[in-house]
Structure 1
Amino acid sequence: MRYSTKLIGTTRLAGAALVLTMAAACGSPTSMANAPASGTETAPPSGSAGTSTSVPPPGKPQFDPPQGAQRVPDNRVDGAALPKTFPKEVYSDNGGTVLVVRAEEGGCGHALGEAVEQSAQKVVVDLSETKAQTGQMCTMDLRHPVISVALGAPLGERTVVLKQSAPR
Structure 2
Amino acid sequence: MKLLGAGLLLLTATACAANSGAGAPAGSGPESVSSTMSVTSATAVPGTPTPGPPPSQTVGRPTQGIAPGDDVIAETQVDARALPEGYPRSLTRSLDGKTLILQAEEGGCRRVSARVGEQTAQHVVVLVAVASAPKGQMCPDYLKEITVPLALAEPLGSRTVVLRQG
Structure 2 length as normaliser, TM-score? 0.52
Question: Could you say which residue in structure 2 is the equivalent of 1:56?
Answer: none
Q: Which has the higher contact order (CA 8 A, sep 6+)?
A: 1
Structure 1 residue 158 corresponds to structure 2 residue 135 = no
Alignment deviations for residues 102-126 of structure 1 (CA, whole Å, 9 cap, x no partner)? 2343323332110011111001101
Cα distance change on mapping 1:87 and 1:136 into 2, 3 Å: closer
Matches within 5 A, 1:72-87: 72-87=73-88
In structure 1, C-alpha distance between the alignment counterparts of 2:127 and 2:154, rounded to whole Å: 17
Instruction: Tell me if structure 2 keeps the 8 A contact 1:64–1:146.
Output: no
Matches within 5 A, 1:85-164: 85-130=86-131, 137-139=138-140, 141=142, 143-164=144-165
Cα distance change on mapping 1:136 and 1:86 into 2, 3 Å: closer
In structure 1, C-alpha distance between the alignment counterparts of 2:88 and 2:111, rounded to whole Å: 15
Structure 1 length as normaliser, TM-score? 0.51
In structure 1, C-alpha distance between the alignment counterparts of 2:67 and 2:118, rounded to whole Å: 24
In structure 2, C-alpha distance between the alignment counterparts of 1:65 and 1:149, rounded to whole Å: 16
Instruction: Tell me if structure 1 keeps the 8 A contact 2:69–2:95.
Output: no
SS at match of 2:76: helix
- The structural deviation recorded for 1:86 is 3.6
RMSD, aligned CA: 3.0
**Number of corresponding residues:** 104
Structure 2 residue identity aligned to 1:79? A
- The structural deviation recorded for 1:66 is 2.5
Question: Could you say which residue in structure 1 is the equivalent of 2:66?
Answer: 65
SS at match of 1:75: helix
Structure 2 gap ranges (5+) = 1-63
Question: Could you say which residue in structure 2 is the equivalent of 1:31?
Answer: none
Cα distance change on mapping 1:109 and 1:84 into 2, 3 Å: closer
Structure 1 gap ranges (5+) = 1-62
In structure 1, C-alpha distance between the alignment counterparts of 2:111 and 2:164, rounded to whole Å: 16
Instruction: Tell me if structure 2 keeps the 8 A contact 1:104–1:144.
Output: yes
* % identical equivalent positions: 38
Cα distance change on mapping 1:88 and 1:109 into 2, 3 Å: closer
Report which of the two structures shows the higher radius of gyration computed on alpha carbons: 2
Structure 2 residue identity aligned to 1:88? R
SS at match of 2:67: coil
Cα distance change on mapping 1:65 and 1:146 into 2, 3 Å: farther
Cα distance change on mapping 1:121 and 1:149 into 2, 3 Å: same
- The structural deviation recorded for 1:160 is 0.5
